[in-house]
Structure 1
């Protein structure tokens, strides 16, 4: 990604995006809700949903939490 591409990406960031810090603060809760009802998670935390659609590292963290929840269910 070139420097100009990064600037373009920054300038087109959705204003609803809560950013990494706020997303990480509720990610475990968001993951649990997503696991049971993805639509409810997006409705309750729209800024987190927007952020996760734009931030690869945070989306990867969510994916890891969801895998852990699935594995935990399988062990139960």
Structure 2
């Protein structure tokens, strides 16, 4: 392993990505907006960008969304 994959992933990071800490701090707000279909991505583009790039945070989002909407995958 030479680290090229990690470097490539870093270089393709959306500059709007807010990172894990901020995404998790506002995840409950973002989930409520998604559940209500009220333009979550438009209102919080940095969180949307982060969830597209971060598997663990995306998993947390999906789980919380399922809990809020009562859906069980």
TM superposition score category, shorter chain reference: 0.7 to 0.9
- Unaligned ranges ≥5, structure 2: none
State the superposition RMSD in angstroms.
1.8
How do 1:1-76 residues align onto structure 2 when only pairs under 5 Å count?
A: 3-37=3-37, 40-71=39-70
Deviation string for 1:28-67 (max 9, x for gaps)? 01001101116x1001100000110111110100000011
Whole-angstrom distance in 1 between the partners of 2:21 and 2:54: 12
Secondary structure of the residue that 2:15 maps to in structure 1?
A: coil
TM-score w.r.t. structure 1 length?
Answer: 0.85
Ranges of 4+ aligned residues in structure 1 off by more than 3 Å: none
Deviation string for 1:10-32 (max 9, x for gaps)? 11111111110110010001001
- Unaligned ranges ≥5, structure 1: none
TM-score w.r.t. structure 2 length?
Answer: 0.88
